[in-house]
Structure 1
Amino acid sequence: MIRLKGRIYIVLVLSIALTIASCNNNKAKTDSKKVIFEPTWESLATHNTEPEWFKDSKFGIYFHWGLFTVPEYYDEKYPRWMYFEKLPVKGWGGPVRPYHNETYGGIENFNYHDFIPMFKAEKFNAAAWVDLFELSGAKFAGPVAQHHDGFAMWDSEVNPFNAKDKGPHKDITGELFEELKNRNIKTIATFHHARNLARHAKDTTQWADKCTAPMMSNNSYYPYHPQLITSTKDPELKYLYGNLSEQEFNDYWLNQVNEVVDKYAPDMIWFDSWLHLIPENHRKKMVAHHFNSGINRGQEPVVFYKQQDLPNNIGLLDIEQGGKKGISEQYWLTDITITKWGWSYTDKLECKSAEMLIRNMIDVWSKKGVVLLNVSPRASGAIPNEQQDVLKSIGSWIKKHKEAVYGTRTHTTYGYGIAASEDNVHGGQSATMKYTKDDIRFTTSKDKKTLYIYILGLPDEKMNIEIRHVIDNSKNQSIKNVALVGSKTEIKWSIDGDNLTVTTPEASEMDEIATVFKVAFK
């Protein structure tokens, strides 16, 4: 008995010791997840909004693809337009209701959620998509995690309408992020769901039967009416159509963003317009959670906003379909389309040329910007060949000139030229400026020992070109050599003050899209 009691005593002591060790270990794990930022603007402003990896990246890809793509008609706002009955047919959004009536029998028989079984994404292949993104030269990528329509493109426990539980029955975000992270490509998730709430239920002047212009009822995605599905009290469908109380919706909005941050660890989260509709306290909590979670995982997280939806010392500004007109004090982002109009796939889309895209991207880089390019996959998950060809052309140009792309910084001036400035409706200048060989842009290496001169077109061969603003007189610079990026041909050059004259080689040595000269300083 004594020996037995001794063994029991020893076991008891060991058990207690193991329990204490386990508690200490769990405490250490808990303590390791430090709360670095409080949900206040003052605390969040101490975060570095411009990590080196982002400044080096220059180019990323995202894509408007989801349940709204299924009709492949008109544009990505089909779910909104289908509930307007009085828009002029020839106006913005106007053709959708007649098309829906003719094709699907009208909203009396076929509502937006009825598209869900048709969204199969049968050709979606995360590895093949990331192969293409990598080939394009993109340094970050990710999905529109949720568009305005309320359908989540991840495996969600918060949103019952998600791509894992319904439609494709695939964790689109999870599969893509796994492939991207395996290749050390940074990740971005974009959110557009801030106006998913039915905010006009008590304002009859904004109801669907009164909406005669596309901007009416604009703070809510779905136009409200008591006789429409948008007013549903169904315990599940109300989450898709946003028919919740304001408090319930705001928490629902925040919980979805936090779920993506916790489950998929994006390096960047990005928000479309209407983020200002979310209470400030929720926005502070959202940013703090993203920053704290990222830093605790060893990341350097970034958040993007539009207009004035976040303070500029918290996140980085995104300018839709446009860019700055001069060098910015802060880094910034522009999200642009690979197509001439529209964000999601329709049979009417036409691609921009690689020439236009690259030249406008160079302009962005010269002004301290980074480009987020939107791709438009088909509902099946196939990326159209025309878009693939453009991405490959971009990748080919970048590969040839990569030293003049990644890791570059701004010069004393962004450049000069004759391209007529075109204003962008979202601010700044248009993302479809028409540049030529008469337009010059500059960037430099980080150490400022190299200047890159981009001629936005194919210069005439065997010609002397005078390039202004090359020498930074404040730094007492002198030129050691001038070379042509992507070529081994020798370049003849001379310097007069801060102006450089180069003699162009044969056309075959230069680039039709953008020719880049490299100036090495002593």
Structure 2
Amino acid sequence: MKIYRNRTLACTTIGLALLFSACKSGSAIASKKVEKYKPNSESLSKHGSAPEWFADAKLGIYFHWGPYSVPAFGSAWYPRNMYIEGSRDQKFHEEKFGKINEFGYEEFIPMFKAEHFDPEEWAELFQSTGAKFAGPVAQHHDGFAMWDSKINPWNAKDMGPKRDILGELFAALKKRDMKTIATFHHARNGQRNANIPENWKTGYNSHYPYHPDLPTATKDPLLRKLFGNFETIEEFNKYWLDQVNEVVDKYSPDILWYDSWLNLIPEKERMEMAAHHFNNGIKNNKEVMLAHKQEDLPLEYSVLDYEQGGRRDSWPSPWMTDITIGESKWMYVEGHPYKTADLVIRNMIDVWSKNGIVLLNVSPRADGVINQEQRTILKQIGDWMKVHGEAVYGTHPHTIFGYGTASAGDGHHGGQSATVNYTEDDVRFTISKDKKAMYVFFLGKPQKGKKIDMRAIGGHHRNIPASPIKNVKLLGSNAKVQWELTTESFFLTMPDTPMNDLATVFKFELE
């Protein structure tokens, strides 16, 4: 087993180029033999952050889908916002469905029928897009579970669709030898403001707003579980852990992924969760992993995810970004525009060139239809991946990620937005695992016949791989490519053939 261990602390004082070269060689090491993980830092840190299959996979797909998809308005935070007095969502809700005391969030569940959900077809769609792993938002902040749960009575098998959404999809994915991911967002679901009156109007550490007069303050024993309104927060924390463990025991996901606010769950429960997941991996002879946001889990045994963001430069250990195909929304919202396929591909190439992995979100309608607009984008991505996949899967970052004028910042929302403007002057690199090829991506459409001075990798900059270049090819074309490496620069002439509309890729064959 090859895993990645975080070397950040040992490398932070070195310059980035030096950091990458110094850390890369020590980032993939054999895992120590562990028969059983214990819920403590010393034991869990032996697991490492990411298996090699994850670093090689490059692309996964997940989806925001649940009862909140029924109104198809606002955002996936509709369940919260509908209870906020004067909010846009509440005004919409009361005009279309009635007063919140008469039509609460739970009333959407029978309307969430998912009658067109076809797990086999979805798995085929995700695979044809080029994804190597996929899965659902297992539970969003709203408290509704998308699996057959004996812990959470508010689940898709017993209510709404009356189907095991997660289980059926996992089965279809496994038939195709795809890895599985279950994402959890329910740390926010616990009600933490019931005894803090000053937080009743502005409480942000719980998903549902609390006020004694709101339906979310219900004493009904069943409804309380939907709204996370337990007698004590300790009781909720156990409920949180029991649900995650149930999914691990029943479905054995390869990846457990957590949204922000996991820090609201005490460290004890988080360590118990991690140990249980890792031990289940041992039991099933699987290389499993965790992904998280912010500083909610240690990097020694978890991969850091940047929401709609990323890094300015390459990083020695694999990292992740979750981006949505919608211009900004994560769930299906009526009339909301989508990003274009060229922007999505170029964003992803930027991530891959910096040692990142992409988790792409799609947005099904409440009836289980993934609409044609999204399917068209996914097909364009898939068609591009079929031609250029060798430049993506299993590749490593180059000494430099590339160069250009497109601006991308560090952290969340730091570069994978709908406003990034990539041009032909933005170039990215990857290296094949066997170091016999370097791939050069143009994130715009180069002009035929143009001679490009690639000084960033040629001449005295010495960023061309150590092995001499023996040939240059244009992926997807038989056109002859003219190139020249001098003491001053590297020159590449665009062949007289159509360039790819999404991203043009050249393969430098190395000796």
Pair 1:521 & 2:510 matched: yes
1:294 Cα shift? 1.2
- Alpha-carbon contact 1:470-1:498 (below 8 Å) kept: no
Query: CA–CA distance in 2 between the matches of 1:376 and 1:95?
Result: 21
Query: CA–CA distance in 2 between the matches of 1:424 and 1:153?
Result: 33
- Alpha-carbon contact 1:354-1:394 (below 8 Å) kept: yes
> What SS class does the counterpart of residue 403 from structure 1 fall into?
helix
Pair 1:496 & 2:486 matched: yes
> What SS class does the counterpart of residue 45 from structure 1 fall into?
helix
> What SS class does the counterpart of residue 158 from structure 2 fall into?
coil
1:59 Cα shift? 0.5
Map of 1:364 onto structure 2: 351
Q: 1:339 to 1:520 in 2, by over 3 A?
A: same
1:476 Cα shift? 4.2
Task: Identify which range, 472-481 or 241-250, moves more after superposition.
Answer: 472-481
Q: 1:82 to 1:114 in 2, by over 3 A?
A: same
Task: Identify which range, 223-232 or 116-125, moves more after superposition.
Answer: 223-232
Map of 2:134 onto structure 1: 141
Q: 1:403 to 1:422 in 2, by over 3 A?
A: closer
Query: CA–CA distance in 1 between the matches of 2:223 and 2:44?
Result: 36
- Alpha-carbon contact 1:37-1:43 (below 8 Å) kept: yes
Of residues 288, 295, 302, the one that matches 1:315 is 302
- Alpha-carbon contact 1:41-1:314 (below 8 Å) kept: no
Match for 1:278: what amino acid? I
Q: 1:506 to 1:280 in 2, by over 3 A?
A: same
Pair 1:61 & 2:57 matched: no
Match for 2:472: what amino acid? V
Map of 1:6 onto structure 2: none
- Alpha-carbon contact 1:445-1:451 (below 8 Å) kept: yes
Pair 1:265 & 2:252 matched: yes
Map of 2:330 onto structure 1: 343
Task: Identify which range, 116-125 or 494-503, moves more after superposition.
Answer: 494-503
Map of 1:155 onto structure 2: 148
Match for 1:70: what amino acid? V
Query: CA–CA distance in 2 between the matches of 1:451 and 1:498?
Result: 20
Identity %: 53
Query: CA–CA distance in 2 between the matches of 1:272 and 1:53?
Result: 22
Of residues 237, 241, 244, the one that matches 1:254 is 241
> What SS class does the counterpart of residue 383 from structure 1 fall into?
coil
Of residues 193, 210, 234, the one that matches 1:224 is 210
Match for 1:46: what amino acid? K
Write out aligned runs for 1:474-489 (5 A): 476-489=466-479
Pair 1:101 & 2:91 matched: no
Map of 1:234 onto structure 2: 220
Map of 1:18 onto structure 2: none
Of residues 161, 178, 182, the one that matches 1:168 is 161
1:53 Cα shift? 0.7
> What SS class does the counterpart of residue 401 from structure 1 fall into?
helix
- Alpha-carbon contact 2:55-2:318 (below 8 Å) kept: yes
Query: CA–CA distance in 2 between the matches of 1:267 and 1:439?
Result: 35
Long gaps (5+) in structure 2: 1-33
Q: 1:400 to 1:473 in 2, by over 3 A?
A: closer
Query: CA–CA distance in 2 between the matches of 1:203 and 1:273?
Result: 22
- Alpha-carbon contact 2:277-2:288 (below 8 Å) kept: yes
1:511 Cα shift? 0.9
- Alpha-carbon contact 1:149-1:221 (below 8 Å) kept: yes
- Alpha-carbon contact 1:66-1:379 (below 8 Å) kept: yes
Pair 1:51 & 2:51 matched: yes
Deviations 1:15-51 (A, max 9, x none): xxxxxxxxxxxxxxxxxxx852111111111113221
Map of 2:424 onto structure 1: 437
> What SS class does the counterpart of residue 322 from structure 1 fall into?
coil
Map of 1:17 onto structure 2: none
Q: 1:517 to 1:79 in 2, by over 3 A?
A: same
Long gaps (5+) in structure 1: 1-33, 87-93
Of residues 155, 172, 177, the one that matches 2:170 is 177
- Alpha-carbon contact 1:460-1:507 (below 8 Å) kept: no
> What SS class does the counterpart of residue 176 from structure 1 fall into?
helix
TM-score computed with the length of structure 2 as normaliser: 0.90
1:427 Cα shift? 5.8
Larger-Rg structure: 1
1:134 Cα shift? 1.1
- Alpha-carbon contact 2:452-2:493 (below 8 Å) kept: yes
Q: 1:327 to 1:425 in 2, by over 3 A?
A: closer
TM-score computed with the length of structure 1 as normaliser: 0.88
Query: CA–CA distance in 2 between the matches of 1:514 and 1:498?
Result: 27
- Alpha-carbon contact 1:70-1:115 (below 8 Å) kept: yes
Q: How many pairs does the alignment contain? A: 473
Match for 2:495: what amino acid? P
Query: CA–CA distance in 2 between the matches of 1:170 and 1:383?
Result: 18
Pair 1:121 & 2:110 matched: no
1:339 Cα shift? 0.7
- Alpha-carbon contact 1:470-1:499 (below 8 Å) kept: yes
Deviations 1:152-183 (A, max 9, x none): 00000000000000111000000000000010
Map of 1:200 onto structure 2: 193
